[in-house]
Structure 1
Amino acid sequence: MKVIRKIIVITQKIIHRILQWPSKTIHAIYSIGPIRKKITQNRIHSIRAHSQDLTPLTTEETPLAHALKERGFCKVNSDFFEAFRSEKFRIAAGEIYDFMEKTYLETGRTINIIKLLDAEPRLLGQFETVFRAGLDIKLLRIIEHYLQLPVGYGGVDIFFTVADGVERGARTWHKDSEDHPMIKVAVYLNDVGENDGPLEILHLQRTSPDFDKLRGFRHQKLIDLQNEDKIKFEITSFTGPLGSVILCDTSKYFHRGKPATGRNRRALFFNYYANKPLTPYFCPNPPFPTDRMKELVSDLTTAQRDAALWRENLSPVDKIVTKTKPYLSL
């Protein structure tokens, strides 16, 4: 049985790498000096052009936006955002996580959103409710002021983190590469203490060339480099009660979900980029077609619809590559 499971995992990795080939090829082309320079200049021009059109902040939003701009992260309670404090959102998220936990208890395995919706199609409505919550207008305004550009909404990752202490995937130190800058918004759906898988970010005070080459690594690597006097660092650990909301630039900071050893963690991670991102082909796609997306946001404001439908304004090449990239919930 273990051999079969190992073969399945290896096969999945091979298929995943094949599916990533178009994105990586385009990225290699866009990384060529003159092309990269042109893309960077276009981004700078877009920021300047949008500076006069930034959506005004309300009095209560301003302190949060300033804190995010100064530090690249901030924390608030979910009651601050209408979408996150709604009963409909809480019920929908709770039903999704109840099914995920039930599946884990019965099978010993976690389940991602694609498999979840295949196994339990009735949860599509609940997922769409959670997805729409990420378009909260307050949230978009605050993030717009950080990015200095109109916001592109990347969707939501649903993490059911088992308290097994295992360090893998998003539980290793890494930076996100969908855009720079970009924002992830974590919403805790249960109390998260130090041993319950809190989001952590790394503050590097001194680094070595060895560290600068790293892309993703286990925590022991940090300790080893520190013991060798090659780096110096501090860690911010975002513990908090149910309803805690953390906004963080995950392209700026190495970050991870600390491997949980206490209780299982329920946390949503909403993704936001500029509209358009520097590397749209690295941005995951929602698990429903464009027509359904348009229908889903048809009753929202123009700013919310534009944030949700940013993929429709990509160049033909970017659109093809981005739309063929599978949705992942690691």
Structure 2
Amino acid sequence: MHKHLKIIIRKIIKRVNRYFAHIVSLPAQIVWGLTKSNYIDKRFFLPRYYRAIALHQSQLPLLEWQDQQIVNALESEGIYMTSVESLNLPNSVEFMKVAQKMTELLQENTKHLFQRFPSEKIHEVHATEKQVIDHIDIIAWSLNQRLINIIEAYLKLPVAYDGPACFLSVNNGEEYGARAWHRDREDRRMIKVCVYLNDVDEEGGPVQCLKPRFNDYVCAAIKHRYRSVYQAEMDSLYLPEFGDALVSCVGKIGTVILLDTARFYHRGKAPMDSDRKAIFFSYFSRSPWHPFFCQRFPLPLREVADRLPELSQQQWESIDWRKKLPQAVRWIPKSLI
């Protein structure tokens, strides 16, 4: 009886939290509805975006040849695969050591959740804010100036850093949330950098994205720009003329994927036979199209400053980007849905 009561109470709490999230998110949803209008966007927001790009063009970083190849691939394909070793950012060895410790923590978090809520359907298990901050080398690696420069050259605007999401995808085969095909809403262009913390094969939940030609077709076919598309519907949209229409990022531990998640339909394929452990770092411009969808995993800025005192002004401005937004925009509560 006690067990059933706990389940009922938990369901009630989840429902209350869901209603609360919708109420808090209402201002953001109203503004989003306005910015989604093609007429309003083309009349007001899009010209400002192009002006900002033009003004920043002379300040874009000059890249080495190999880094420019990454930008070229992102422009043409929307995705670039490499590895921590090949990317060869400073402190990569330390980063992978700390990342492996994060893997152990994710496994412990998962075990704890399944023990605490044995009847719940759990799809993802995230590292806590404290666990991320206690492994600050993860953040330091993702703020490396060379990586920021690559992303800035692609975005064509100053970079905002939205922090890491460290999580384990449970191997239950269910198409849920980000396991469905979707595009991210934060900005017109954005980059997510994914680092695999275990080997990922085709049944282990690889990151996948559509190739450009099929992606353009799907974008035109889907009337609502940000609606999720489940696999059955994606199959119905596919035509033989598109050939091999997707990229499936199968890779070893330490695989790095740079992906424009705003332009391209993508997903984390539902793991079937093993959990997938990964870190996703998010980057977009400092004046994102929809700032109220940003900072889903906010960083405690004071703690980051204390633990990474060596950050340059440019790196710090990438983290503390919100303070440069217009006051009226900052008043819009962050969307929880």
How do residues 44-193 of structure 1 correspond to structure 2 at under 5 angstroms? Answer: 44-79=50-85, 80-82=87-89, 85-87=92-94, 89-108=95-114, 109=122, 110-113=124-127, 116-117=128-129, 121=130, 123-193=131-201
Measure the CA separation in 2 of the matches of 1:262 and 1:182.
Answer: 31
Decide which of 195, 206, 220 is 1:198's aligned counterpart: 206
Matched residues, number: 318
Query: Shift of residue 207 of structure 1?
Result: 4.8
- Aligned partners of 2:220, 2:65: CA distance in 1, in Å? 44
- Identity across the alignment (%): 27
Q: CA RMSD in A?
A: 2.8
Note closer, same or farther for the CA distance 1:55–1:21 as it changes in structure 2 (3 Å cut).
same
Aligned 1:1-330 pairs, distance under 5 A: 1=4, 2-31=7-36, 33-34=39-40, 37-79=43-85, 80-82=87-89, 85-87=92-94, 89-108=95-114, 109=122, 110-113=124-127, 116-117=128-129, 121=130, 123-203=131-211, 205=214, 206-207=217-218, 211-213=222-224, 215-226=227-238, 234-321=245-332, 324-325=334-335
Q: Secondary structure of the residue that 2:65 maps to in structure 1?
A: coil
The offset of 1:182, in angstroms, is: 0.9
Distance in 2 between residues matched to 1:232 and 1:6, nearest whole Å: 45
Deviations 1:11-64 (A, max 9, x none): 332222222122223323445645763222111111111111111112332222
1:95-129 CA-partner distances (Å, limit 9, x unpaired): 3331221232243255434xx34xxx4x3533433
* Counterpart-to-counterpart distance in 2, 1:226 and 1:23: 34
Taking a change above 3 Å as real, the CA distance of residues 124 and 157 of structure 1, as seen in their structure-2 partners, is closer
How far apart, in 1, do the equivalents of 2:82 and 2:198 lie? 15
Tell me the TM-score normalized by structure 1.
0.85
- Checking the alignment, whether the CA contact within 8 Å between 1:149 and 1:274 is kept in structure 2 is yes
Q: What is the CA distance between 1:198 and its match in structure 2?
A: 0.3
The answer to whether the Cα contact below 8 Å between 1:163 and 1:196 also exists between their aligned partners in 2 is yes
User: What letter is aligned with 1:274?
Assistant: S
Unmatched 5+ residue regions in structure 1? none
User: For each residue in 1:46-90, what CA deviation from the matched residue of structure 2 results, as whole angstroms up to 9, or x when unmatched?
Assistant: 111111111111233222222222222111111214257232x22
Q: Which amino acid aligns with 1:284?
A: Q
Q: Which consecutive residues of structure 2, in runs of 5 or more, have no partner in the other structure? A: 115-121
Secondary structure in 1 matching 2:58: coil
